[in-house]
Structure 1
Amino acid sequence: MSTKKPAAPMESPDPLDSRENQLLAIARHLFAQHGYDRTSLRDIAEAAKITKAALYYYFPNKDALYDRIVLESIQLLYDQVAAEVAKATGPTARVRAFMEASARIQDSGRDRWIAGSNAFWQTAVDGQRMAALKLRDSYEGLLRQCIVDGIAAGEMRAVDPAMAGRLLLSALNHMPRWHKPGGKLSAAQVMQQFLDMLLYGLVLEEPAPPPARRRKAAA
């Protein structure tokens, strides 16, 4: 008997989608629920109610699915986010555009986001892994450049752009662990609040140094 937990509802594919896209939606859902390594082609075929031979017609192996679910997803993410960043005026506005566009994409395709993330960190052949890393670096580099531009323009403090980018992306990437679709706030609305806190801080004014530091300064 299977020990897998009951699956959460799958994002409904467009009824006009091709059979191939419907199979991709099923594969993304299973990868999001159980992980890339723990989902077999047999699992996908059974969920789609087709034979493995029929599935092989569309995807001869898991490498082909990795290409479609990871590589295409990251490319789509980059293209959509870059388009929104290009519309924004000023570095801070571009950081907001990057993060809010990413959160909206997460909102509209939760299975795609989680499945792509799961598979990215799991098994892949060397060529696929390098292609995925290159796409990811382009996506993260876009955010880092916005921060570099913000520092150069005097809109942001002279922080480490790579570290600042990791902080912002951590807030985004961990959201699916706790945010529930259909809740009080969308992922994009949560990100707007996160950005207010991350960009402008929580503390109203610089706190006084601890007593030990004050005594040392006085000496």
Structure 2
Amino acid sequence: MSWNDFFIKNSKLVNHIYNQLKTTNYTPPIENIFGIFKHMSLEEVKVVMIGDQPYQSASDVCDIAFGTNNPETPSLLKHIFENMEKTVASFNRPMTNHLDRWLKDGIFLCNFCFTRPTYGSTPPHYHLLWEPFTNNLVQYISNHHSVIFILFGSRAKSLRKSINEIKSVVIEAPHPIYNYKEFKNSNCFRKAREYAGNIGFILNW
């Protein structure tokens, strides 16, 4: 099993997504949509963090979810760092907002929707374009080996039905932006570190 194998099995679905994207303007640019898959192999994945959709601002969006090449920290990422500083002992903040150290440590960063329209608010049914792909992705990863899934918000939580919980651990958390008041009191990152020890690896947030 590999990413190449996954994309071959889902080639019709991916082609459908690309065809639909031709009719709209979206972010990130096409070469960055699946950027996360270039940062680690399937075997290297230890934690999967899933949000809702990419940043809308062109200055914030990059080739991975949550991260950015912008030296100014977006609110979503700022809230995550604040929570970690509050709940995780010896939290070691990444040197850059692109979160390269997390990637090297096997933290797979993605969103339920790998793209979002660049105009106005996201249409109510836009997530349906990505729902089959993302469900297939979490199923594929969780069937391969034991990982920790952190699901932010209701849309990401809906993926739980596709995760093999015999092998993997699922942590649900409020979305850092949409439900900030609840998120700031969440212990999701501390729980992830504890579960990592049980599975047999060290999670250095």
Q: TM-score, normalised by structure 1?
A: 0.29
Q: Hey, which of these two has a bigger chunk of strand by percent?
A: 2
Could you say which structure has the greater relative contact order, defined with CA pairs below 8 angstroms and 6 or more residues apart? 2
